[in-house]
Amino acid sequence: MNIIFIGARGAGKSKVSRSLSKQTNFPVVSTDSIAVYEAGGVPIPNFVETYDWKKFRELEFSILQKLVNADGIILDCGGGILFDLDESGNEIPSQRKLDLLRKIGRIVYLERGIEELIEKVKGDSTRPDLSKVASYRSILEKRLPVYQEAAHFKLNLSKLSKEEAAERIIDWLGIKSN
């Protein structure tokens, strides 16, 4: 069994993944880390600047194809994992990626309020700039319903610690913790 975290930038996917890993001994695999590796060590913002978002979304799809037979991992997905771009460069829900994610494992949506998310990612230079595409708020307004619909389990992190979130996921899945 695999556990997959989806959600917006700043939702807490990486922190909850690490906490859950400590409690279950499942290793954490990050789609963003694999993307950097597959791009020859090029950070994601540089990759997007050099190529574009469409090429990055294709790289994500390729990564998911490689993970279909994984077992016993926690998959920490980038915020745009459920999206592709149409011919005009507009972000659209990606059925092909959702299908792969559902083959890989159980999808957990880690949610927070829009204002909280915006505050958490302000000025983070380690993430690609989304402002050239649209405001982060407008991106969130389009993405949040897609995350909701894709998830097997939803967990609002606004009032939970990463440890409490991990415990709730363990209870939901009925797995043993350390």
How does pLDDT run across 33-73, given as a tens digit for each residue? 999 999 999 999 899 999 999 999 999 999 999 999 999 99
Summarize the annotated binding site for substrate as residue ranges: 32, 57, 79, 143
d(CA 97, CA 47): 20
Kind plus residue range of the DSSP H or E element containing 111: strand 106-111
**133 backbone dihedrals φ, ψ, rounded to 5°:** -85, -55
pLDDT band for position 123 (50/70/90)?
low
- Asked whether 82 and 93 are in contact (CB, 8 A), the reply is yes
| Domain 3-173 CATH superfamily | P-loop containing nucleotide triphosphate hydrolases (3.40.50.300)
Q: In this structure, are strands 83-85 and 106-111 parallel, antiparallel, or unpaired? A: unpaired
How does pLDDT run across 78-108, given as a tens digit for each residue? 999 999 999 998 999 999 999 999 999 999 9
Summarize the annotated binding site for Mg(2+) as residue ranges: 14
Cα–chain center distance at 168: 19
Residue closest to 136 by CA, chosen among 156, 114, 110, 157: 114
d(CA 134, CA 166): 33
Q: Report domain extents, the chain.
A: 3-173
- Asked whether 9 and 111 are in contact (CB, 8 A), the reply is no
Summarize the annotated binding site as residue ranges: 10-15, 32, 57, 79, 127, 143
**28 backbone dihedrals φ, ψ, rounded to 5°:** -95, 130
| More confidently predicted of 10 and 38 | 38
pTM of full prediction above 0.75? yes
Summarize the annotated binding site for ATP as residue ranges: 10-15, 127
Residue closest to 84 by CA, chosen among 109, 53, 105: 53
